[in-house]
Amino acid sequence: MLQKREKVLLLRTFQGRTLRIVREHYLRPSVPCNSPLCPQPAACRNEGKLLSGDVTHYMIPDWKVVQDYLEILEFPELKGIIFMQTACQAVQHQRGRRQYNKLRNLLKDARHDCVLFANEFQQYCYLPRERGESMEKWQTRSIYNAAVWYYHHCQDRMPIIMVTEDEEAVPQYGSETEGVFVISFKGILNVNKHRAQIEAFVRLQGASSKDSGLVSDILIHGMKARNRSIHGDMVVVELLPNSEWKGRTVALCENDGDDKATGESPSEPMPTGRVVGILQKNWRDYVVTFPSKEEVQSQGKNAQKILVTPWDYRIPKIRISTQQAEALQDFRVVVRIDSWESTSVYPNGHFVRVLGRIGDLEGEIATILVENNISVAPFSEAQMCKMPVNTPENPWKVSPEEERERRDLRKTHLVFSIDPKGCEDVDDTLSVRTLNNGNLELGVHIADVTHFVAPNSYIDIEAKTRATTYYLADRRYDMLPSILSSDLCSLLGGVDRYAVSIMWELDKTSYEIKKVWYGRTIIRSSYKLFYEAAQELLDGNFKIIDDIPEFRDLDERSRQAKLEELVWAIGKLTDIARHVRAKRDLCGALELEGVEVRVQLDEKKNIRDLIPKQPLEVHETVAECMILANHWAAKKIWESFPHQALLRQHPPPHQEFFSELRECAKAKGFFIDTRSNKTLADSLDNANDPNDPIVNRLLRSMATQAMSNALYFSTGSCAEEEFHHYGLALDKYTHFTSPIRRYADIIVHRLLMAAISKDKKMEVKENLFSNKDLEELCRHINNRNRAAQHSQKQSTELFQCMYFKDKDQEMEERCIADGVIYSIRTNGVLVFIPRFGIKGAAYLKNKDGLVISCGPDSHSEWKPGSLQRFQNKITSTTTGGESITFHLFDHVTVRISVQASRCHSDTIRLEIMSNKPYMIPDSELLHQSSLLLKSDLVKEVTRSVEEAQLAQEVKGNIIQEDFQKYCQTKGRSLYMLLEEIRDLALLDVSDSHGIGNTHLQ
Ligand SMILES: [Zn+2]
């Protein structure tokens, strides 16, 4: 039965000599295939691990892919992988024992859906190497041949995708066998070790389309092409030949359903593909709207099977079996998808629960939460019963054991906090003093949350699940219960608190760092200052002490002494911070969020309480101290645990993303040098139009948009040179300073405690995560942060729409505003409205093909005509010969209205009324009115909701409470703001509906 062959192996020795080894090689008619589809399992002797039955295709990685991308193949999301013996041997010979063992362990790992196929022992799979054939070509040919055999062995029932690094293999084998796809591994885009998903594989059709572009740029047109995949699924996409490419707007109309169709003419054809397989289904709960009574009737005979429309445009309609369609027609409802038959256009699902009435604030907020998978149930009894108590009868006290273990700073250090006014959860405080040797000691003291939150306790598990505190436009959902977040962990003034401190000894003149100390401490903060007060003290305006409660009830002498002490400390801190900042600036730290941008982005984030009317230097001071602490925490935990420390990286941006920024700047005569973070920062500083500060603001915002997100990662999964934080220009960075509202900081605190124990040669008590588990956790936290950003943005848009909805646009002053054009598209322009911080599309051509014409009286009309687009301007010419041109950065007058939608969120519409500014752009004035209006906006919407509820005799106290709660706090320092804003600005607006760029090409 066995055939004997000789196999020649050429191995290279360490000395560089080549050894020729001849091996006897026996071929068998059958070897284990390990597929559940095997027609003869007995013959194949499939006794070990089998592939899962629940896949849409098998994946066979080529030898080079296994060699270079084993880490990606280890993703648990990737299922049905067949490792060919040829590929495994290539790893063994080329990558050495360590990598080979990793592969073997993966094959043994019962949790990972992959198997080995010994193709070289299978008589039909084995191919001898041809004369003159390179080893590489032979390996690829062998693997492809085995893939084809395997496909037929499974009776052609399971498509096979071979992924290869060999560009030539794609056209060579790609269309040879139906059902066996050959895909370039280069076509796997957006692969990032820190991503939960590989978004798609792109099949390259022939050599003509070597540039596959981003996956999100490949159009999947039509239900058929979508092939039962849903947004969020991990899919395999085949690129269609150019002749079948389509324009984008067509697809928008089709995907978006009825009320979204704006009637745009299709744009230029773009790469278009179809889904050939689903790697992983990613079904979740969906918020849907039931059809109205009339629609139900029109849906016809089978009235119990109702088609419901998901709130998320990207999700297809879902078929629900229910008798209650009529009762549910005015509500937002949660449904779950159960199945999708191959014969059906729509998936089947079932009713889960009702969220609230369409258009009601609470129902709409609940919708946003479900859509972002945010669960904010109150903390349970079980979670709360392990929490410490602090009541007047039973006050919390520092325990004697902790007093012994911790360094006590209560008598030795002047500790204080600087936060926004009214802040309740203070997680950072500062100190500075002169040591006996004349040197300075700078201290950052952070709330010791991990003292109260033990690993794997109920509260820890809950905090981990939430991963962050969620801030919506009018409310927040805390990561930790308030007994911790606003009481025992909060470093309030005048009370004893546990802290985790980092203290640096600095040279008295050069501020060079001499020593660092990390450890647990006990502190008592002397002052809980707010930013403006600290700035006044720094500026020498001491009248402000009347507003600082700690100075009340003091006699004149001690008041004077205390004031001097505090003013010295703030001044010294500021001096040190300037110095540290200057050092970072030398390395190219970016100030992307210039003051103006802060305001603009604030609109999305609704953190207006924090927004200074003027930039205060004391913000920078606090921010810089926090960045320093985060940086040193990162260094410490990485040194102690090089393969399992949680750090934060900010990868450098892709140069091509800067092209729009460069072009726009050029229109104003500025040159933006994007070669490094340093040159970018410098040239952005110089790109200032003295007549229009909004130009700089928009340019900075564009720069921010071109960046990628900063992300958490485990140091074991990343090469050290990738740790870099581009925006902050630091080689190591993490989050340490906000454990009350970020779970990443809790992990970092535990790591830091473990590092200190290790230094002291003590047993490491903390249960540290392995690299793999930490990587998984980082993925979860990154994902939750994105959800937090989306929900915040969506809730802000909800408030904006409620603010403008049902207003008489002719009469209401608020509906007319000044806007600035920041992008030119083929059928319109993108406009930014500083007053409201709204960005949106304004069409110059409407759905009837008419173009805009602006009369002298600030009134626009639609007339027959045509548009002509140039690099930095667009001209609308009517057939009557009237012509109007809009330039980049022109100020225009726009009318804001709301496009109501029953099934989806409402969207803001912008309409150009005139090509002239609405007001003389006085930045100072705009700035202030914008601030006022924003708080008015939320307040007014909230108030009108309350009134409506009162009218229904429903108590409105929930909203009132939430609103007050919201007023309490948003982050604590500019530094956090900075981080948040950076993250926020990097949101992909193109997938949002309405305000994004998707409507215009
Ligand atoms: Zn078999």
Where is pLDDT greater, at 250 or 374?
Answer: 374
Check residue 663 and give its pLDDT: 85
User: 112 C-alpha vs ligand 1 centroid, how far in Å?
Assistant: 20
- Provide the CB-side half-sphere exposure for 498 (13 A, CA): 23
- What would the pLDDT profile of 189-236 be if each residue is shown by its tens digit? 333 222 223 333 333 222 222 222 224 456 776 667 777 777 767 666
Distance from residue 31's CA to the centre of ligand 1 (Å): 7
**Ligand 1: centre distance to CA 28 (Å):** 13
The CA 74 to ligand 1 mean position distance, Å, reads 24
Supply 801's token pair. 């729409």
| 22 Cα–ligand 1 center, Å | 29
Share of the chain above pLDDT 90, in %: 36
Give the start-end residues of each E strand in 598-672. Answer: 646-649
pLDDT at 808: 65
> Among 145-154, 158-167, 624-633, 803-812, which stretch is predicted with the lowest mean pLDDT?
803-812
Using the mean position of ligand 1's atoms as its centre, give its distance from the Cα of residue 155 in Å. 10
Using the mean position of ligand 1's atoms as its centre, give its distance from the Cα of residue 275 in Å.
28
pLDDT at 340: 85
Among the listed residues 412, 423, 478, the one whose alpha carbon sits nearest the alpha carbon of residue 445: 412
Report the separation in Å between the CA atom of 357 and the middle of ligand 1, taken as the mean of its atom positions. Answer: 56
Q: Please report how the helices 361-371 and 771-804 are oriented relative to each other, as an axis angle in degrees rounded to 10.
A: 150
State in Å: Cα 110 to ligand 1 middle: 19
Q: What angle do CA 44, 85, 50 make, to 5 degrees?
A: 45
Higher pLDDT, 509 or 259: 509
> Could you tell me the distance, in angstroms and rounded to a whole number, from the CA of residue 56 to the centre of ligand 1?
18
* pLDDT at residue number 751: 97
DSSP-derived 3-state class of residue 972: coil
Q: Report the separation in Å between the CA atom of 179 and the middle of ligand 1, taken as the mean of its atom positions.
A: 18
Contact 701/985 with Cβ under 8 angstroms? yes
pLDDT score recorded for residue 236: 66
Cβ 346 vs Cβ 316: under 8 Å: yes
CB 997 within 8 A of CB 830: yes
CA 153 / ligand 1 centre spacing (Å) = 7
Q: Is 924 left (phi over 0), alpha (psi -120 to 50) or beta?
A: alpha
pLDDT, averaged across the chain? 79
> Per residue in 688-745, pLDDT tens?
888 887 888 888 878 877 777 889 999 998 889 889 888 888 999 999 999 999 999 9
CB 362 within 8 A of CB 376: no
CA atoms within 13 A on the CB side of 642: 3
Residues 294-328: pLDDT tens digits?
A: 877 776 655 578 899 999 877 888 999 888 888 88
Convert 587-613 to b/e letters by CB count within 10 Å (16 or more is b). Answer: ebbbbbbbbbbbbbbbbbbbbbbbbbe
Contact 804, 814 (CB under 8 A): yes
CA of 43 to the centre of ligand 1 (A): 7
- Find the mean pLDDT for residues 818-830: 86
Distance, in Å, from the CA atom of 599 to the CA atom of 985, rounded to the nearest integer, reads 12
Q: Is 323 left (phi over 0), alpha (psi -120 to 50) or beta?
A: alpha
Percentage of the residues of the chain whose pLDDT score is greater than 70: 78
Rounded Cα distance, 235 and 493, in Å: 54
Ligand 1 centroid distance, CA of 1 (Å): 17
**Which range has the top average pLDDT, 239-248, 395-404, 588-597, 981-990?**
395-404
Quote the pTM value. 0.72
Q: Determine contact, residues 518/486, Cβ cutoff 8 Å.
A: no
Q: How far is the CA of 184 from the centre of ligand 1 (A)?
A: 27
State in Å: Cα 149 to ligand 1 middle: 11
pLDDT of residue 255 exceeding 60: no
Distance 30 CA to ligand 1 centre (A): 8
Tell me the CA–centroid distance for residue 128 and ligand 1, in Å. Answer: 23
Please name the amino acid found at residue 106: L
List the one residue out of 981, 989, 605 whose CA is nearest residue 796: 605
Cα–Cα dist 702/663, whole Å: 11
Per-residue confidence at 815, pLDDT binned at 50, 70, 90? confident
pLDDT over threshold 80, residue 797 = yes
Cα 992 from Cα 986, distance rounded (Å)? 13
pLDDT computed for residue 9 by the predictor: 61
Q: How far, in Å, is the centroid of ligand 1 from the Cα of 162?
A: 19
Residue 544, H or E segment: none
Which helix (H) or strand (E) covers residue 6, if one does?
strand 3-12
Rg (CA), the chain: 31
Instruction: State the Cα angle at 808 between 806 and 809, rounded to 5°.
Output: 110
Rounded average pLDDT over 4-13: 63
How far is ligand 1, taken at its centre, from the CA of residue 29, in Å?
A: 11
Using alpha carbons, list the distances in angstroms from residue 247 to 221, 243, 774, 1000: 9, 12, 42, 12
Per-residue burial over 731-754, b = 16 or more CB atoms within 10 Å of its CB, e = otherwise: ebbbbbbbbbbbbbbbbbbbbbbb
Cα 530 to middle of ligand 1, angstroms:
72
pLDDT (average), residues 783-808: 84
3-state secondary structure of 104: helix
Distance of CA 5 to the CA centre of its chain: 55
Q: How far, in Å, is the centroid of ligand 1 from the Cα of 63?
A: 22
Q: Output the CA 145–ligand 1 centroid distance in Å.
A: 16
364 alpha carbon – ligand 1 mean position (Å): 53
Of the listed ranges 175-179, 444-448, 541-545, 905-909, the least confidently predicted one is 175-179
| Average confidence (pLDDT) over 377-396 | 90
Distance (Å) from CA 146 to ligand 1 centroid: 13
Cβ neighbours for 51, distance < 8 A, ≥ 6 positions apart: 34, 35, 36, 58, 80, 82, 113, 114, 115
Q: How would residue 897 be classed by pLDDT, with cut points 50, 70 and 90? A: confident
**Nearest CA among 708, 705, 707, 661 for reference residue 687:** 661
How many angstroms separate the alpha carbon of residue 178 from the centre of ligand 1? Answer: 20
Question: Which amino acid, residue 846?
Answer: N
Nearest to 116 by CA among 66, 75, 158, 161: 66
CA 9 to CA 110: how far, in whole Å? 32
- 164 Cα–ligand 1 center, Å: 24
Residue 590 CA to residue 678 CA, distance in Å, equals 7
507 C-alpha vs ligand 1 centroid, how far in Å? 73
Average pLDDT over residues 640-647: 95
Distance of CA 210 to the CA centre of its chain: 29
Contacts of 701 (CB under 8 A, 6+ apart): 597, 600, 601, 985
Confidence (pLDDT) at 937: 64
Cα of 961 to ligand 1 centre, how many Å?
Answer: 65
Query: Which of 33-47, 287-301, 614-628 is predicted most confidently?
Result: 33-47
* 141 CA to centre of ligand 1 in angstroms: 21
CA–centroid distance, 55 to ligand 1, in Å, is 17
CA of 38 to the centre of ligand 1 (A): 4
60 Cα to the center of ligand 1, angstroms: 16
How much is the pLDDT for 969?
Answer: 30
Distance from Cα 36 to the centre of ligand 1, integer Å: 8
Q: What Cα–Cα distance (Å) separates residue 660 from each residue in 160, 593, 655, 665, 667?
A: 40, 18, 10, 8, 11
- pLDDT score of 996: 29
DSSP-derived secondary structure for 142-167: HHHHHHHHHHHHTTT-S-EEEEES-T
In the reported structure, the alpha carbon of residue 157 is separated from the centroid of ligand 1 by a whole-number distance in angstroms of: 13
Using the mean position of ligand 1's atoms as its centre, give its distance from the Cα of residue 229 in Å. 29
Query: How far apart, in whole angstroms, are the C-alpha atoms of residue 366 and residue 360?
Result: 10
Say how many Å lie between the CA of residue 576 and the centre of ligand 1. Answer: 70
**Per-residue pLDDT reduced to its tens digit, 453-492:** 999 999 999 999 999 999 887 788 999 999 999 999 999 9
Q: Which residue has the higher pLDDT, 220 or 404?
A: 404
Encode pLDDT of 126-165 as tens digits. Answer: 998 888 899 999 999 999 999 999 999 999 888 888 888 8
- Tell me the pLDDT tens digit for each residue of 56-83: 789 899 999 898 888 778 877 678 899 9
